[in-house]
Amino acid sequence: MNILILGMPNVGKTSLYNLITNKNNNIIHDTIGTTRDWHVSPLKSNSNIDVYDTPGIINQKNLVTKSVSNIIRKIDIFVYVIDYKDENYFIDKELINELRKFNKEILVIINKDDNFKQDKKIDSLGIKNIFFISCSHNIGIDVFLDFLSKYDAKDNKLIKYDFSLGLFGKTNVGKSTLLNKLVGFERSIVSNQPKTTTDIVSSSYKFKGNTYSIKDTAGLIKKNKIDKNSLDFYVTKKTLSIINEINLNIFLIDIEQGFDTQSKKIFNLIYQKSNILLFIINKTDLVKKNKKKIINELIKDINYEFSQSKNIIIIPISTLNKKDILFLKNKIRELILEINKNISTSQINKWLNHVVENNSHPRINGKEVKFKYGTQVSKNPLTIKIFSNFSKEISNSYKRYLLNNFYNFFKIKSRNLKILFSKSKNPYD
């Protein structure tokens, strides 16, 4: 069963959503229109019931109504939220009458009411089941949950995702458009208006037998440049918090804006936390003259900025080109399969013996440096631990030699690698 939370902006829809799903995932802020896209999580008292959080029902250039219309066919129950302190119920009454046209159950939540007094204006809404709650004081929530538990829910199986993707970048570089193209429908709101996406938008798609979860993040702003009480601060903080949860981070720039100072600052934030990073030069369709030259110059600029990196793959695309999207899907699949590839201990030790025979480490304090064995201890990022009679004393130049040789030996093109050293406990070494 699916429940859709509706209402005007800032009436407490997202607060209610967080309370009844026990997720606390969605950003709550006084700024009008903080929630600009819908979100879904299971009801905390019944995982077979999915709860959808939506933007406020307002017609700002048709951004919101389009989003809601995409999921309304899935919904079994409408939950309409009203701010008790707002006495102008006539707008809510009109909207509730519009919802009646869909012939679905309608429940009304009166939020921010600590006195629980029903008046004639509320009666005039013509709704049988009305609940008086206070989200800020967690009052009345249990009564509402008990009511929902009486419904027979459909036995929906949870989707098991094989891999996860994250879309990052400045505002209006095409993240939401790319998400829509990957999933195959208008999942995320697209607009020329800056900061249309103010929260993380999740969706999924299937490709060649695998299911991918994908998150469209809000455009990032440098945290030290914004007020800690502002919406931008919370948006940026939340976006950065999910990077480590993602298998493949995808960073976008607009070809016309280029790899500018702000993009570089944001990229550094993502790059430092990423096992592997796919760099997309987007909107190539906008360039009509000298396209190849402009793209090559951008790639050169990116490679120069991060010359020591092995984990950045650069792809120019246009989200309007179906061939580009298909190529991108295949590339994403290829990269993620590489990320999840394990290297056996026997293979690592074969490499280690080979590399030491060709170039041994110089003696340390007159003692021979003996590398006992190596093993993979993590795949995100790919981490190899080598046991030796020395650990902290291994020279930086030899570490670089091992890293480069490992990349070449195992033909790793796009995966970040760490090699750690641990001192063996043999007292005779």
| Integer angstrom CA distances of residue 102 from 1, 8, 51, 58, 127 | 16, 19, 18, 18, 15
CATH superfamily of domain region 345-423: K homology (KH) domain (3.30.300.20)
Q: Which pLDDT score is estimated for 239? A: 61
CATH superfamily of domain region 163-339: P-loop containing nucleotide triphosphate hydrolases (3.40.50.300)
pTM of the complete model: 0.57
Query: 79 - beta bridge partners?
Result: 5, 107
pLDDT in tens, 313-329: 899 999 989 999 999 99
pLDDT in tens, 239-277: 666 776 788 889 999 999 998 888 888 888 777 766 668
Helix or strand (DSSP H, E) at 267: helix 261-271
Q: Do 2-148 and 163-339 agree at the fold level?
A: yes
Q: Which pLDDT score is estimated for 369? A: 93
Query: Which portions of the chain are predicted below pLDDT 50?
Result: 26-36, 58-64, 154-158, 191, 193-198, 223, 226-227, 230-231, 427-428
Cβ-contact 387, 284 below 8 angstroms = no
- DSSP string for residues in 142-175: HHHHHHHTTSPPP-PPPPPPSEEEEEEESTTSSH
Q: Which pLDDT score is estimated for 308? A: 60
Q: Which CATH number among 3.40.50.300, 3.30.870.10, 3.30.1490.20, 3.40.50.2000 corresponds to the domain 2-148?
A: 3.40.50.300
For the chain, give every domain's residue range: 2-148, 163-339, 345-423
Query: 4 - beta bridge partners?
Result: 52, 78
Which residues touch 309 (CB under 8 Å, ≥6 apart)?
A: 271, 416
**Number of CB atoms found within 10 A of residue 129's CB:** 13
